[in-house]
Amino acid sequence: MGSERMFYKHNDEQVAAEEFDGEFVLINFARGTYFSLRHAAVDVWRQFRNGANPAQVETRICDRFSVTGDVGPAELKRCIQVLIDEQLLRVVEAPGPPVEDWSSQVWKAPAVEVYSDLQDLIVLDPVHEVDNTSGWPRRAAGGDDS
Amino acid sequence: MELTAPRAHAQVDPQAAGLCAAVLDLAEQASRTSAREHAFRLCDGLVTLRVAGGGFEAHLTRALRHAADAPGAVQAPALRVFAVDARAAGGRPPPAWPFPYANARHLERLHVSEDRCVYLRLDEDTRTWHVFDRARRRAAIWTEDASRLPDWEQSFPLRTLLNWLLAPSPATLAHAAVVCEGGRGLLLAGAGGSGKSTTTVACLEIGLETCGDDFVAVTGGDAPRAHALFDTIKLDERSLAYFPHLAAHAVAAGSGPGSKARIHLSELSPMRLCAGCSLTAIVVPRVAPGEPTRIAPLPKTAALRALVPSTVFLTRGAEIETTAKLGDLVRRLPTHELCIGGAPEEAARCLRALLARGSS
């Protein structure tokens, strides 16, 4: 999980998100994976729209839904970690304003489904970063090849 | 084809622009040896094609013959394409790929300028370049040896360039089949093996038409439409067994696992290939042996998962635009599952009944 000083936001350059009926479908173009987010996972995703710290997102959602005990926060941590591990979020330098956009009034544990059945279709060089001079893909300075 | 007006060529990415121009020059010069310029009307726009290399010409044009238009038509081309088979036409090769890439294991390179005006793609395996210059409305395909290109590429020639051409327009490619009757159609979405092609042929057998079996163009908005691009239907061995009379018309069945034969519908039954139709619903086929064949409601997210990922993973370079346009289409149209439990003809009759019911 990111430290207190780490901030993440939607990885818009390589991830598209579409919302239908309270469910998000995310597609990671570079990795060939796609995802279904439901219940509190929708709130987790929304909270990172402008840039946020993982621990603060967890706290905000727990406060919003009056989640107590160990189970709910642990589920939120796992959900956030999936978003980070699957590169659906990217690191940013600073947080943005909090998002006041909630999925419902009641707590439902985050549900994340990962689909990797189309990964074989990905043979292109993954897209990483974009800038105004080199287009994409652009390898980050000193970046690795993984 | 509704396309945004070409913008002044801002040199936000001079290296890409220079490389694109170099490959375009190579291809344009080489294809001057070809006396023939093809013209195709695709998605209401005109695309011209000049090819250096006879075998490559057949490779690129066979699936598009249904859309052939008279060269020199009054309408200005939306895109002029120059294609070269270097083994046949000779000439210098393009420069080396100059851009960094993230994973050396991948065989294909893609570079898109930040202003989305210049697109470059290199397949290292077949040494095939696709370049596209939106401002000049020109594109090129340069391949080292067209005989090394996979046969299945003949099913959807110019697909890469059409994807980039359509990116800023209301239209987009969709990895889907369309069956239609009386100008109204159903978009059949699903990954390979979901039953799209077999169902499409079964629909043709009972008198319906199609706009395409694998890739079509679609436009959203208040009146979603499908447009035919390619005349091919791809059938695997199991599907051909259902329709043995098509075997004589099948080309390049191949021998490996998952290999598919091509049927060129404009050569076999041109009246069944429909240039375009309105779309009334999205249908996701699912082969389910033992279950009754039926149409059932399907959540929109499931339809989106069936349509969008495979489309964008197979048509790179315009992923954000394609996802937004297909997402809009899914929002606007009713979505159904076609559970295929029995013979393909049963599925075809279910689809005909759904078409007759309208968009409910």
Q: Say if residues A20 and B331 touch (Cβ distance below 8 Å).
A: yes
**Least confident range of A75-89, B128-142, B231-245, B334-348:** B231-245
Answer whether residue B9 is part of any domain: no
Indicate whether B225 and B298 sit together in one domain: yes
Residue B190: how many CB atoms within 10 A of its CB?
A: 24
Residue B232 above 80 pLDDT? Answer: yes
Answer whether residue B6 is part of any domain: no
Structure tokens at B149: 């290109």
β-strands B276-287, B335-340: how paired? parallel
Q: What is the dihedral of CA A74, A78, A79, A84, to 10 degrees?
A: 140
Chain B CB within 8 Å of residue A20 CB: yes
How is residue A108 annotated by DSSP?
A: -
Last residue of a domain, one of B166, B199, B217: B166
Indicate whether B161 and B186 sit together in one domain: no
Please state the rounded mean pLDDT for residues A2-21. Answer: 86
Answer whether residue B304 is part of any domain: yes
Last residue of a domain, one of B123, B145, B166: B166
Answer whether residue B124 is part of any domain: yes
Indicate whether B147 and B115 sit together in one domain: yes
Phi and psi at residue B256, in whole multiples of 5°? -75, 165
Q: Say if residues B146 and B53 touch (Cβ distance below 8 Å).
A: yes
Answer whether residue B8 is part of any domain: no
Pick the closest to residue B27 from B5, B66, B56, B59 (CA basis): B56
Residue A3 above 90 pLDDT? Answer: no
Chain A CB within 8 Å of residue B257 CB: no
Contact A125 B327 (CB under 8 A): no
The helix, strand and coil proportions of chain A, stated in percent and rounded to the nearest 5, come to: 25, 25, 45
Chain A CB within 8 Å of residue B316 CB: yes
Please state the rounded mean pLDDT for residues B28-43. Answer: 87
How open is the CA angle B8-B10-B15, to the nearest 5 degrees?
A: 135
Indicate whether B212 and B352 sit together in one domain: yes
Indicate whether B91 and B208 sit together in one domain: no
Chain B CB within 8 Å of residue A78 CB: no
Please state the rounded mean pLDDT for residues B246-252. Answer: 85
Indicate whether B123 and B199 sit together in one domain: no
Residue B51 above 70 pLDDT? Answer: yes
Indicate whether B99 and B222 sit together in one domain: no
Closest Cβ–Cβ partner in A18, A115, A138 for B100? A138
Rounded-to-integer distance, Cα B88 and Cα B146, Å: 9
Chain B residues close to A132, C-beta within 8 Å:
12, 114
* Residue at token pair 């043979």: A123
Write a three-state SS string for B171-217.
Answer: EEEEEEEEEEECCEEEEEECCCCCCHHHHHHHHHHCCCEEEECCEEE
Report yes or no on whether pTM surpasses 0.90: no
* Residue at token pair 């291809």: B27
Answer whether residue B161 is part of any domain: yes
Kindly report, residue by residue over B191-200, the tens digit of the pLDDT. 777 889 999 9
Answer whether residue B7 is part of any domain: no
Indicate whether B125 and B202 sit together in one domain: no
Distance from CA of B35 to the nearest CA of A (A): 35
The helix, strand and coil proportions of chain B, stated in percent and rounded to the nearest 5, come to: 35, 30, 35
Indicate whether B104 and B178 sit together in one domain: no
Domain that holds residue B340: 171-357
Q: Say if residues B156 and B215 touch (Cβ distance below 8 Å).
A: yes
Last residue of a domain, one of B132, B166, B200: B166
Indicate whether B187 and B144 sit together in one domain: no
Domain tally for chain B? 2
Closest Cβ–Cβ partner in B16, B300, B312 for A27? B312
Q: What is the mean pLDDT of chain B?
A: 89
pLDDT at position A139, please? Answer: 39
pLDDT at position B75, please? Answer: 75
Distance from CA of B288 to the nearest CA of A (A): 19
Answer whether residue B5 is part of any domain: no
Kindly report, residue by residue over A22-36, the tens digit of the pLDDT. 899 999 988 888 999
Kindly report, residue by residue over A101-142, the tens digit of the pLDDT. 898 889 999 999 999 877 766 645 544 333 434 444 343 343
Q: What is the CATH number of the domain that holds B224?
A: 3.40.50
Kindly report, residue by residue over A61-81, the tens digit of the pLDDT. 999 999 999 999 999 999 999
Q: DSSP per residue over A1-21, as a string?
A: ---TT-EEEE-TTTEEEEEET
Indicate whether B116 and B199 sit together in one domain: no
Q: Which amino acid is at B49?
A: L
Residue B104 above 70 pLDDT? Answer: no
Those of residues 109-128 in A touching chain B at CB distance below 8 A are 115, 117-118, 121-128
Indicate whether B265 and B311 sit together in one domain: yes
* Euclidean distance between the first and the last CA atom of chain B, given in angstroms as a whole number: 29
Between chain A and chain B, the number of residue pairs with CB atoms below 8 A apart is 112
